[in-house]
Structure 1
Amino acid sequence: MSRLLLIGGPSAVAHLADSLSRSRGAGYLPVAAYTPGLSPIDPFEPESGLPVLGHAPTYASILQAIDDCEADAVAISAGVQLHPQTLRHLGWELAARNLGLIMAPALTDIAGPRIHTQQVAGLPLIHVTTPSLEGGRGVAKRLFDVVASSLLIVALSPLMAAVAILVKLDSPGPVLFKQERVGLEGKPFRLLKFRSMVVDAEILLADLTCRNEADGLLFKIKADPRVTRIGRLLRKYSLDELPQLFNALSGSMSLVGPRPPLPQEVEEYEHDVRRRLLVKPGLTGLWQVSGRSTLSWQDSVRLDLYYVENWSLVGDLIIILRTIRAVLRGTGAY
């Protein structure tokens, strides 16, 4: 692990420390903070708990802090109050000591291919391209959905027929469950699933809200009494979602995309969360391969927004391959 001294404003330092702590596999260990230009108030950064080793906006003081915490590298984040010339001298001193210098701009959840660095008048300017599903990219995604969903429907038709028979034999009621969901640009559509609950599940929901085990706008119960015997098996291996291949074929959904939300969820969306509706909801997505039902509401939103901001056809293929593994393992679904 590389020991990092984080330099920047308090909120930026706290956010960077939290992000690096959640991705320890990257090999960075925040050990201390340095907040130049701020008056000393607390010896520890309130949110991250890192010791604050100084505030003076000079490279000599920063170098002393590096020695005090035995850092291997320095990460400079947003809100840093250092003169460009001070940063330049700091870079020279770090190079002489064979220590790393990392610039951490205030950009979050941006995939690598969208970031390009260009030198302009000696300044390393970072360009961030904007993803778009219009034009050729949109046509390519739709063509992929049509071809892939058609092939999957043909290949999985015997399995879907068997599931339909099991659902019919297991409990009285229709084989398919149809529910209104919200799709692209807030337009409603009818989502198809194999029925995994009793027929009056929607009516019984009111009596179960007090047992909700999820946070945010989600409703989840691990031992939901409304789920049928065959329904538990279908949900564990996501077999109940196979009819959504017809949604993808018709164009109301995509094979890969954000989780299809309920109308009542969308009504309570904050402004940022509504960006999920900029693309079609998916049969699978980052939420499916990153924990499924065990995800918190915040994590679910974060993954969906990351997908919207960083969509690519290659990324869709990777998610589909990861979905196969997640479904076969059957973990995180109930």
Structure 2
Amino acid sequence: VASQLFSQTAATAYFPLDFRWVVGRILSRVRPRVVVLFETEIWPNFINSAISLGIPVVVVNGRISEASFRYYRLLPWIFRNIFARISRIGMQSGADAERAVALGAKPDAVFICGNMKFDAVSEPPSAERIEAIRRELLLPRNASLIVGGSTHQGEEKALVNAYKRLLDKKPDTRLLIAPRHPERFDEVEVLIRSQGFDVLRRSRCSSKLKPPASNTVILLDTIGELAQVYALSTISFVGGSLANVGGHNIIEPAAVAKAIVFGPHMHHFKDIKEIFLSEQAAIMVSSEDELYERLRELLHNPERIRAIGDAALRVVERNRGATERYFAFLKDFL
């Protein structure tokens, strides 16, 4: 991806294995003005070699999870020296900054700059584009759409089971599932059909087809459309969270003011999750039954759907700007 995005402006290469003789040779040949590491890319030999060659090392969008913090503290003779030698460390949150200092970073070298993920969302699709997607997916105008985005094994079945129960009370509801991994598209179609539903695959949508009935689940089997589909949703369930995967990015549906639901396993997005929950900008569920209950409650309360979506958008807007803050402190090294 990087080679495609930056083919005209930068050279790209795989990061070297963290052996001293390997990284020393590469750094001596490349001689960068500064090394910028993202999030938790703490490679002891690489960092020590860079500093030994007089190359400053900077961390941006830094994040230290509780698990990583415990691991680093088990090896203080390695990591205290590493953190103390990093020139500047920009962290996503106050908790991350405190952990960096506890691990040996100099307090005056640590800054709280926020999370660049809030800046990474694309521009929301226009009203015309959203309407075009609705027509392409053959959705009735009055349908409430539940989108299950970036789902993993077990989550599709939970969504389909919840949908089956919802149809008794809200027959105008429709369900769209977007599996995280393309190689699971066929598997998910088989699972949906085994639960008694028909499947309409996005790749086969055609104006010649009839609009899907309530016994049809839409399967998003294309790449790059999920963010736009979130904009069409009434409620967005973000996967990797009922399944113990660690969660996926909830900022995409938040950026288009959607009511967001996710499961309890959001450890890869712990700080973001806590921000949204504290602002009543998302709902966390712990089980398939609770997923059904929360979806049922929301579908019967459009005002609450709107309030959660509005709160989610406010969270995104309030946390934008981290990229500019990181760039501002990088300018000292350029």
Return the TM-score normalized by structure 1: 0.31
Larger radius of gyration, structure 1 or 2? Answer: 1
Return the TM-score normalized by structure 2: 0.31
